[in-house]
Amino acid sequence: MPVMLNETERSCAKNIRLRLLLLILLASLAACSSQSPADKLHKELRTVVSWAATSRMVGEALQNGKVLQGYAARTFEAAGRNLQEESRTIDKSADIPAEERAGAQAQIARLEQIVGQLKSMVEGKDNAALSQQVEQLKVEEQSLKSSLRGDSSQP
């Protein structure tokens, strides 16, 4: 026998359906973004690579006279700040194994140092010394990229 619902019951059922839909949506979004420690480290390292690549591109462009010095100095400053932030984020991520955290932080520290030197050189208008730092940056960037590739090839 069909059960007849009154107006209040119908509206209540509709509300529950809407809430359920919203909950499912939120859960699927959360599932999309849930990260294992390895994923988390991978994501942070991608940001680090991004800043290393940005600094190298700016350094090379500056050597070839393709960007202005003021812009380059500000970008190196932003890169240094963001690398520092990444280092702090990794430090706070207790779920990432300590050994991997230490390795990543050492790489970031080396990058920070190079980017800091690049900034000082630009501010001191010492463009001649840029090429050596840019080369070092390239080496660090390649090493980061290969560790990222190794990371992603793991099962």
Partner 1 sequence: MKKALEIALGIVTSVGGFLEIGSITTAAQGGASFRFQLIWAILLGGLCLIFLVEQSGRLAAVSRHTITDAIRERFGFNYFIFLLIILSLVILLVLGAEIGGVCVALEFITGVGFQWWAVPVALLIWLIIWKGTFSFIEDGASILGLVTVCFLVAAIVLHPPWKEVAHGALPTLPASDKAHYWFIVVSILGASISPYLMFFYSSGAVEDKWDESYINANRAISVLGMSFGTVLSVAVLIVSALVYLPRGIQVEHYSQLPLMLIDAFGYWGFILFAASLGIACLGATLEITLEIAYMVAQGFGWNWSENQRPREEARFSLVYTVIIILGALLVVVGIDPLKLTIFSMALTAATLPVAIVPFLFLMNDEAYMHEHRNGFLSNAVVIFIIGMTFVLAVVTIPLEIFGGG
Q: Among residues 5 and 28, whose Cβ is nearest to partner 1?
A: 28
Q: Is 78 in the site for partner 1 (CB under 8 A)?
A: yes
Return the residues of window 26-45 that contact partner 1 according to CB under 8 A. 26, 29-30, 32-33
Residue 101 CB neighbour total at 10 angstroms: 20
Quick one: which segment of 65-73, 94-102, 104-112, 128-136 binds partner 1 (CB under 8 A)? 65-73
Q: Among residues 9 and 95, whose Cβ is nearest to partner 1?
A: 95
Indicate which single residue of 50, 131, 132, 146 sits in contact with partner 1 (rule: CB under 8 A): 50
Q: Take residue 11 and report the two structure tokens written for it.
A: 């509206």
Q: Is 145 in the site for partner 1 (CB under 8 A)?
A: yes
Q: Among residues 54 and 127, whose Cβ is nearest to partner 1?
A: 54
Transcribe 79-110 into DSSP letters: HHHHHHHHHHHHHH-TTS-HHHHHHHHHHHHH
Q: How far from 57 is each of 33, 54, 63, 102, 153, CA to CA, in Å?
A: 30, 5, 10, 27, 27
Q: Among residues 9 and 135, whose Cβ is nearest to partner 1?
A: 135
Q: How far from 73 is each of 16, 34, 39, 78, 89, CA to CA, in Å?
A: 56, 37, 32, 9, 24
Q: How many residues does the chain have?
A: 155
Q: Is 23 in the site for partner 1 (CB under 8 A)?
A: no
Q: Is 129 in the site for partner 1 (CB under 8 A)?
A: no
Residue of 114, 128, 125 whose CA lies nearest to 79: 114
Q: Is 14 in the site for partner 1 (CB under 8 A)?
A: no
Q: Which residues bind partner 1 (CB under 8 A)?
A: 22, 25-26, 29-30, 32-33, 46-47, 49-50, 53-54, 57-58, 61, 64-71, 73-75, 78, 82, 145
